[in-house]
Amino acid sequence: MRTDVQRNDKYQAKYVAATVNLKVAARLDGMKSSYATLTAALYVKEQQAQGILTAVAPAIQTTMFPFYYAFIRQVFKVWYQGITGAALNAQAQIAHDKWEASGLASATMITLALDLFGATVT
């Protein structure tokens, strides 16, 4: 049976700087490529959103754009994980309700969710 000292030693061995550096170095290339893919997809959605915000809703002040981008990113996070259909609609509705309570225009968020992600919100 292990003693508390043995448990502590085993735990401490996992977090020695050299061990951690080797673990991170082994995964770094994969982490970079995953992040590059994610940011490229997000960039495309944000560019599409900017077009929608300037064309469909010209009455929206540009100072409000970051809040709409926050809404888009919240829905994007779910969409990027491969969640579609009713689950995506439910998560998009939650995001819609949250940001509508913060003062964003419901019609604009409905348009963004539908055009960018195919999500139906009310």
pLDDT tens digits, residue range 30-88? 999 999 999 999 999 999 999 999 987 678 888 899 999 999 999 999 999 999 999 99
Structural tokens at position 27: 């995964």
Tokens describing residue 73: 């990113």
CA 53/CA 68 separation, integer angstroms: 9
Helix (H) or strand (E) holding 44: helix 17-55
Q: Kindly tell me if the per-residue pLDDT of 18 is higher than 70.
A: yes
Torsion sign across C-alpha atoms 7, 9, 15, 21:
negative
Domain residue ranges of the chain, discontinuous segments joined by +: 34-117
Output the six-digit token pair for 95.
Answer: 């995001």
pTM score, two decimals?
Answer: 0.78
